[in-house]
Structure 1
Amino acid sequence: MICQNEFVRIDALRKLDLLDTPPSEAFDRITRMAARLFDLPVAAVSLTDTDRQWFKSRVGVEHDSIPRMHAPCSEVAEQYAFVVIPDLAASERYRDSLLAQQGVRFYAGAPLVTRDGHALGAMCVLGTEPRQITEEERDALTDLAAMVMAQIELQHALGRIDPISGLPNRNQYIDDFADLEKDWPRGQQRLAALVHLASPQQLGNAARVMGSSYLDGLVAEAVRSFREEFGSDGKMYHVAATQFIVLLAPHVGLASCTLRLQRWLDGSHSWSTSRFVTSPAVGIAPFELGAADSLDVLRMAQGAAHDAFANGTQLAVYSSTEDAAYRRRFTLVTEFGRALEHTSQLRLNYQPRIDLDTGACVGAEALLRWVHPEMGNVSPAEFMPVVEQTSMARPATAWVIDAALTQLRAWQDAGIDTLTLSVNVAAPNLLEPDFAAMVRAQLRTHGVAPACLELEITESAAMENRASADRMLAQLQDVGVRIAIDDFGTGYSSLSYLQSIPAHVVKIDQSFIRGIEDDERKQALVTAMITLSHDLGYRVVAEGVETAAARDVVRLAGADEAQGWLYAKALEPDALAQWLALHAADVAHAIPA
């Protein structure tokens, strides 16, 4: 049976460039040691390829490979485990194998496992007589396999020193961290600091204009000055192109570390010729020996450095709260992808829109809801901003449009044919060259007139990539759907752009509406926004109307429609149909509100 991650395992083997390479005395020495130690005629460093066992080193074997099928070394790689076969002739699996036919009776193999946990093959010994293996022999063969892997990694890494900075590299950091746990007491509190010499945008700009040699000089300057500040109080490792991590000495506490790092950052004018182009940031990760491994500490320090960039502080200490928030976002992205594959977790609710002159319901906004089997109800305010930054923005919007039009078609077939249905569109959707074609196809599939669908975009989305957005909005206008500017007043508005955007509706954000009945400044601002929108030819919807007093204010200010909890929260499809019937009856027997 081939292991589930066979493709990844084979890829790891190929990356090491070991297959079909010339013999190496470094490996042959270990293989000879294995044969002597076990007093057996055959020993080999066997690598498990897709269809063969290839011997990087061998003793007592003439050929350099055998078929993988029914080879015990393949079982070692597949199971990631030590394999002992006391007698191949007595083994149902191997009694007819090529090795058994050649007279091999005994086999023992220890897995060759990379740092990333991929089994490459086996350090194996074979004999022509049945025998058992002792615990001491098992440990010895395991040690020999570790020696083989150390040799493989040493040759592949071509040393442990980065040629640009002269610092130990990431592999050496991982090894040294493991030694820390052996040399110092478990539970000891230590600090690691990751220096990120420039933000991703700064790096991209600098490399594009001045080339990679500029970044090499930036690294050399920073390493030299950092060493002057910390001396022997920290060991530095070059872990990425413009990043190095420092493991601080046990006596360096957080207060002292923070002070010295800030001093180094403040002094960049004296050591950095790039101070006007790049700005470094440092993340500090406190950790406890034995409680976190090397990669955990590296991740925490990198997270703190990113927090420093985001906050504009240059220096930040790892925060478990911030870390949990980022992990939550990552989980949401992963789980939402699964939700799109199994859409039983997703559904749409609908919130009515009311004409303020007649009191009639003239439309509804489709709002995505996600019920995760373990996390429960996940708010769209939490997951949508994350989703919109990923490749899932396209399939998410496509699913919402399809589900909304399916429901609208069902309502129309049931005689509810006066609603315009609104769907939110993310900024990345406006960059999809076939987005308008997708919308047109969906309308045709469901048999819905384009004027019955309204796409809501935010000001920021429309302005983010204006040329592409303009082209897409023009195409959507040709399709015949309505366009609404959502959350009006919260983005970076351009009056000249608002004058030309092919929109039909402006939706004033609820932050301006809530509490408007008691706030004269809000009243003045909303009145001005409504007047401006009407002058530009837009119909105006006031979002977040929760009280009758707020409704009266926005109606007096000239708003055309209102949406909010005063009328209804977002409802399930059946509940909305019932609400529509009751509301129509109320409107028919009362003066329009």
Structure 2
Amino acid sequence: MDRTATMAEQELQRTVDALRRKIAEQDRTIARMQHLARFDALTDLPNRSVLAQNAEQAIEQARAGMRPLAVMFLDLDRFKNINDSLGHRVGDALLAALAARLKSAVRERDTVSRLSGDEFMLILPDTDSAGASHVAQKLIARTLPAFQVANQELSITPSIGIAMYPTDGDDFDALSQSADAAMYRAKRGGRGTYRFFTREMQAEAARALQVENALSRAQERGQLELYYQPLIDLTSGRVTGAEALMRWHHQELGSVPPAEFIPVAEASGLVGPIGEWALRHALRQLRTWMDAGLPALTMAVNLSAAQFHHAELPSLATEILQETRLPAELLELELTEGAAMQNPQHAIAVMADLHARGIRVSIDDFGTGYSSLSYLKRFRVHKLKIDQSFIRDIPDDEDDKAIVGAIVHMASSLGLRTTAEGVETEAQLAFLRQQGCDEAQGYLFSRPLAPAMFEAFVRDLQDQA
């Protein structure tokens, strides 16, 4: 009997212990769910809802005590290229490591929150503009040392926008918008820096939003078109190719220059479909001209950094060439030094792939970026395009003459062709010919032309030959 009672008690104890474990596990699950409802799963930083609560509380305290407060919007520069080239797992690991550095740079009472992707926001109570400037510099300094992620050494820089309470907004939404606008100004100012919000930015932000909304419908509404600027061979005087240049005319916004809408397209993710449209449209136009009897010309198409680093670029270019029945060597993809140097190793791989497919690559605006000669030697590049800023003051500026001469001779020694951009005078043309530059483009020859006018221009030169 005693033994039976003892066994029953033991069984009961086991049941009680199991129930306790189950309850404890449920408690941990509930606590975890409650934590995830308030904190970002990747970085363990406060999420949007906690950010909003903390911000409203901090603003109320600042209002009551007539104290300053700073809101910062931090966005990583060119983070998308890391995701595209190395994968989201590496990108996520980088974000987690970055979050720890950001948190270590501020006080316990400050809020550091991840909004989404590579966007972060900070709330700094009792912080005036001098204090905000100090914190921004500290945040940038903390990101400078390379991150060791998945056997990769990665470098990243942030662009930071700062809004001050109450001058830049009296509630969280207004301050967030102001900080966002200032962040975009920081990106335009060279990236890896910070900017305070100004009233001028408010108008620019409104304009940028208007441009973005209109640009999302521009392609389907037929508002985008390509003009073509002739490339002239400096030995024969013949047209050797065309550079496709995008134009956008909107009924209300008027003619929006590429310098304005291309950055908006890059920031909003629209540059991919717009870039594909431009590539396809340009090669179809070249096919049309050749079917009409024009000689085979090179078609140069500009690429943004995002397009160049997209994994599908080589296969997409080959697909369109096959669709248009054009030889690969007639396509020339132009990218800036900056785009190539964002991730040099990846650039080397992409250029090698394009070269293997017979597609040519040129470096646009050469001389304005920071490309290393050691990398230039490894890039499978066909041509260097000399930026017009070095051409403009020739023949009066001796420094520009020396720079242009050096670029032409260096390119020649590396087996590369050179094209001078922005040629407007006979004196500039004479100097370029003297130096051995291969091609030129600019208003001395022709402004960018609509397709029919470009065809007429080529035929006129043929008739004069």
- TM-score, normalization by structure 2: 0.70
CA pair 525-328 structure 1, distance change in 2 beyond 3 A: same
Matching residue of 1:556: 434
Distance in 2 separating the partners of 1:312 and 1:431? 19
CA contact (8 A) 1:394 1:428 kept: yes
* Separation of aligned partners in 1, 2:191 and 2:312: 38
CA displacement at 1:471 relative to structure 2: 1.8
Distance in 2, matches of 1:173 and 1:363, equals 57
Cα distance in 2 for residues equivalent to 1:478 and 1:315: 42
Whole-angstrom distance in 1 between the partners of 2:136 and 2:76: 19
CA contact 1:285–1:318 (8 Å) conserved in 2: no
Distance 1:180 1:399, change over 3 A: same
Please give the secondary structure, in 1, of the residue aligned with 2:445.
coil
Q: Is residue 193 of structure 1 aligned with residue 69 of structure 2?
A: yes
Is the aligned partner of 1:332 residue 2:214? Answer: no
Q: Distance in 2 between matches of 1:275 and 1:434?
A: 33
- Aligned equivalents of 1:312, 1:395: Cα separation in 2: 25
Deviations 1:460-496 (A, max 9, x none): 2222112222222112112212221211111112112
Q: 1:356 aligns with which of 215, 234, 238?
A: 234
Classify 1:414/1:528 alpha carbon distance in 2 versus 1 (closer, same or farther; 3 Å). Answer: same
What whole-Å deviation, never above 9, does each CA across 1:263-285 have from its counterpart, x for those lacking one? Answer: 6876999xx9x997489985324
Q: Which residue of 1 aligns with 2:122?
A: 243
Aligned CA distance change for structure 1 residues 276 and 412 (closer, same or farther; 3 Å): closer
Q: 2: CA distance between counterparts of 1:559 and 1:217?
A: 52
CA RMSD of aligned residues (A): 4.1
Partner in structure 1 of residue 130 of structure 2: 262
> How far is the alpha carbon of 1:439 from its aligned partner?
0.9
- Which residue number in structure 1 is paired with residue 314 of structure 2? 436
Q: CA deviation at 1:539?
A: 1.2
Question: What's the CA shift string for 1:268-303, capped at 9, x where partnerless?
Answer: 99xx9x9974899853244599xx765224432565
1:510 aligns with 2:378: no
Q: Which runs of 5+ in 1 are unaligned?
A: 1-155, 158-162, 184-189, 224-237, 249-256, 589-593
Aligned to 2:164: 284
Query: Is 1:395 matched up with 2:273?
Result: yes
Task: Tell me if the contact between 1:284 and 1:304 (Cα under 8 Å) persists in the aligned partners.
Answer: no
Q: How does 1:533-544 map to 2 (within 5 A)?
A: 533-544=411-422
CA distance in structure 2 between the partners assigned to 1:263 and 1:574 by the alignment: 59
Matched, 1:585 2:463: yes
Aligned to 1:500: 378
Q: Find the counterpart in structure 1 of residue 154 from structure 2.
A: none
Structure 2 counterpart SS, 1:329: helix
393, 406, 412: which one aligns with 2:290: 412
SS at match of 2:395: helix
Cα deviation, residue 402, structure 1: 0.8
CA deviation after TM superposition for structure 1 residue 503, in Å = 1.7
1:148-199 CA-to-partner distances (Å, cap 9, x unmatched) read xxxxxxxx99xxxxx99xxx97347659979999x9xxxxxx8863244987
1:426 matched residue in structure 2: 304
- Cα 1:211–1:552, aligned 2, differ >3 Å: closer, same or farther? closer
User: CA contact under 8 A between 1:459 and 1:493: conserved in structure 2?
Assistant: yes
Letter in 2 for 1:414: A
Q: For CA contacts below 8 A with separation 6 or more, give which structure has more relative contact order.
A: 2
Gaps of 5+ in 2: 1-36, 39-44, 78-91, 115-120, 145-159
| Corresponding letter in the other structure for 1:530 | V
Q: Deviations over 1:441-464 (max 9, x none)?
A: 111111112122211122222221
Deviation of 1:572 after TM superposition, in Å, equals: 0.2
What is the rounded CA distance, in whole Å, between the counterparts of 1:579 and 1:213 in structure 2? 58
Contact 1:194-1:301 at 8 Å conserved across structures: no
Contact 2:136 2:194 in 1 (8 A): no
Q: Is the 8 A contact 1:545 1:564 kept in 2?
A: yes
* Residue 334 (structure 1) shift: 3.2
Q: Distance in 2 between matches of 1:312 and 1:460?
A: 12
Query: What residue is the counterpart of 1:383 in the other structure?
Result: 261
1:117-147, Cα deviation, whole Å (9 max, x unpaired): xxxxxxxxxxxxxxxxxxxxxxxxxxxxxxx
Write 1 or 2 for the structure with the bigger share of helix: 2
Task: Find the counterpart in structure 1 of residue 103 from structure 2.
Answer: 215
Q: Which amino acid aligns with 1:548?
A: E
Partners of 1:418 and 1:217 in 2: CA distance = 59
User: What is the CA-CA distance between 1:349 and the residue it aligns to?
Assistant: 0.2
Counting matched residue pairs gives: 383
After superposition, the Cα gap between the structure-2 partners of 1:312 and 1:346, relative to the gap in structure 1 and judged at 3 Å, is closer
Letter aligned with residue 163 of structure 2: G
The amino acid that maps onto 2:374 is: S
SS of the residue corresponding to residue 344 of structure 1 reads coil
Structure with higher Rg: it is 1
